[in-house]
Chains A and B, each alone.
Chain A
Amino acid sequence: AGGGSGPGGSAAGDGGPPAPERVLFPPTFSVSEIKNKQRRHFMFLRWKQQQRKEKLAARRKRRKEREALGDKAPPKAIPKTIENQRVYDETTVDPDDEEVAFDEATDEFAPYFNRQTVPKILITTSDRPRGRTVRFCEQLSTVIPNSHVYYRRGLALKRIIPQCIARDFTDLIVINEDRKIPNGLVLSHLPDGPTAHFRMSSVRLRKEIKRKGKEPTEHVPEVILNNFTTRLGHSIGRMFASLFPHDPQFIGRQVATFHNQRDYIFFRFHRYIFKSEKKVGIQELGPRFTLKLRSLQKGTFDSKFGEYEWIHKRREMDTSRRKFHL
């Protein structure tokens, strides 16, 4: 403490005139021990400057070494990103996992992927949708081919579902609305399929997107699913894929993308054009939104008695910043 206050006191003495170039702090000194706020602040700034200088010197030295070594220099260190540091999820799908392949051949989407069924989608909202939600539903129905929008008018979902099945619908989308903006999405595969409940955010309608093109045409778009690695992600990806007919019309040059990044699924709808074999230009049309999975349920929509395959439990799952589930 005596040694600490010594340089501290002397520094405060020349606090006005510029600080010395190299300041030697005795090893037991810590900036936080000074009680006086002004002096402490001053000492901290000096300490920071010194740290910066040291770091710059170290970087220069490293660069010189690298140049000196030339080819033999060790490769540059890869910066750490969250994706790099991601906690390894044991349910990550291997591309040639037989079990997964077998599961996919026998799950609820198999008839779709075998081209036996054609998707037919019903889009609806919660009660009394406001203008924004209504317009969003309309745009969504132009994006997804073979989809119909019906208004809810206070009907119970449990009663709607048998009627939908009777009329041959394969999927049901319910957009939940709160305070005049859509904020939730329930996607249910109808003949007994899984139901996924998402939280929807940053919804942009077509007129809010800058530099957009014309309206999406009637052609069947292609589908891009990015980054769905785990088993859960795989099943969600298949759910999305089953919304669109299996044979895209390349003439239309439209593509719908579901990109998963850190458990957020970004949906975009673009029109692409190949300018050369190495360059492609894309132009965004269509609405955009992001989804975050809240729960996946085995049967059709049933909040009380359904069997949940996955629920987002905040306390358990949000503890680590490097752990993602999709």
Chain B
Amino acid sequence: SPQVVWDTLGNRQFCSYKITTKTQNFCRNEYNITGLCNRSSCPLANSQYATVREEKGRCYLYMKTIERAPFPRRLWERVLLSKNYEKALEEIDENLIYWPRFIRHKCKQRFTKITQYLIRIRKLTLKRQRKIVPLRRKIERREKRREEKALIAAQLDNAIEKELLERLKQDTYGDIYNFPIHAFDKALQQQEAESESESDAEQEEDEEDVDKREFVEGDDSDLSDFEDMDKLETSSEEEQEEEEEVEKKSNSKSKGKTPLKGAARRKRPYIEIEYEEETEPTTKTKAA
């Protein structure tokens, strides 16, 4: 009889569905309606019992009566509830008519809760879902190692420097930088054919200004090299201001950032006698 069952299992002896915590006792039985371990909620200790459970999104009402107690296979009777919330509540009432109030009430509560969480599931699946992909340790290790080796093989600094020098050679920077001898060899040969000294002089002054401006901006950055550059620049400027003739500067130290006045030489280190002829007369007259 159910009273005996409760006295032994529920209260005193061991029940495998029972979980005790500090404040409460829970019941792990799948047919339990409230989830707590109580005299009125124990499916084992009540011969007339009902629950609501859901399977694959559909809710069922399970009922147990005394008549079927000796037939465990047919013990729980299952009724499919309608998808409509109100109609389902009515169905519960219909099926559990004349049943104790407690069970009816708890069934409806449980059914409400279940429908609420089903709605939430459906809403969440519409939102973006984060997919969790497991990392594979061997693959991670392999990738890391390959990356290190690739980094060493890449020799990034060298590659970048080479590329920049290539671009300098191919004149992508235009007239900003003054030194490359080879590129200007070609330009030199071109200019031997033409005589553009005056236009050169004008361009010279413009370019001097531009260069100067660039150097000011360059000074803002914090490379230590720049200090050396500044010294070189000023010293060579002074030298050239004194000299009337520009001498061959085969030393690559003159980064060509030194603006050449008067002698109207482009960024070439070589001198062209043509230019000197143009400017010399004026200086001579001044001296005189």
Contacts and interface: CB of A to CB of B under 8 A. Distances in A.
Interface of A: 81-83, 156-157, 199, 201-202, 213-214, 222, 224, 226, 250-251, 253, 255, 257, 259, 261-264, 266, 268, 270-278, 280-283, 290, 292, 314
Contacts of B217: 251
A272 B253 CA distance: 18
Interface in B204-220: 214, 217-218
14 contacts: A224-B160, A255-B164, A257-B156, A259-B160, A261-B154, A266-B151, A272-B160, A272-B161, A273-B225, A277-B182, A280-B164, A281-B225, A282-B161, A292-B147
Q: Label chain B's interface by main secondary structure.
A: helix
Contacts of A274: 164, 168, 177, 179, 255
B163 A281 contact: no
B168 A277 contact: yes
Contacts of A292: 143, 147
A262 B164 contact: no
Contact of A273 (B143, B180, B223): B223
B159 interface: yes
B181 A277 contact: yes
A214 B221 contact: yes
The residue among A214, A263, A264, A270 with the most chain B CB atoms within 10 A of its own CB is A264
Contacts, number: 104
A261 B139 contact: no
Contacts of A277: 168, 177, 179-182, 252
A104 B249 CA distance: 46
Interface string B241-280: 0000000000011010000000000000000000000000
Contacts of A224: 160, 163-164
Contacts of B153: 81-83, 261-262
A201 B223 contact: no
Interface in B102-154: 127-128, 139, 143-144, 146-147, 149-151, 153-154
B20 to A, nearest CB: 37
Given A266-B154, A275-B255, A259 B159 contact: yes
A226 B165 CA distance: 14
Nearest to B253: A276
A17 to B, nearest CB: 43
A280 B161 contact: yes
B252 A278 contact: yes
B82 to A, nearest CB: 33
Interface residues of B, number: 41
B222 interface: yes
A226 B221 contact: no
Contact of B147 (A264, A268, A282): A264
Nearest to A155: B128
B150 A264 contact: yes
A264 B159 contact: no
A251 B221 CA distance: 12
Nearest to A276: B252
Contacts of A213: 221-223
Interface string B172-215: 01101101111000000000000000000000000000000010
Q: Output the residue of B149, B174, B223 with the most chain A CB within 10 A.
A: B223
A280 B165 contact: yes
B139 A257 contact: no
Nearest to B151: A266
A257 B160 contact: yes
A263 B180 CA distance: 35
A261 to B, nearest CB: 4
B157 interface: yes
A60 B227 CA distance: 51
B47 to A, nearest CB: 51
B143 to A, nearest CB: 7
A282 B252 CA distance: 19
Contacts of B149: 262
Interface string B90-109: 00000000000000000000
A314 B159 contact: no
A253 B176 CA distance: 11
5 nearest A-B residue pairs (beta carbon): A261-B154, A277-B180, A262-B150, A277-B179, A276-B252
Given A268-B160, A271-B221, 11 more contacts: A82-B153, A201-B143, A213-B222, A213-B223, A214-B221, A272-B164, A276-B179, A277-B181, A281-B223, A281-B225, A314-B139
A259 B179 contact: no
A157 B129 CA distance: 12
Contact of A290 (B147, B160, B218, B221): B147
Contacts of A251: 176, 214, 217
B160 A282 contact: yes
B150 A261 contact: yes
A199 B167 CA distance: 31
Contacts of B160: 224, 255, 257, 259, 268, 270, 272, 282
Nearest to A285: B221
Nearest to B152: A261
Contacts of B159: 226, 257, 259
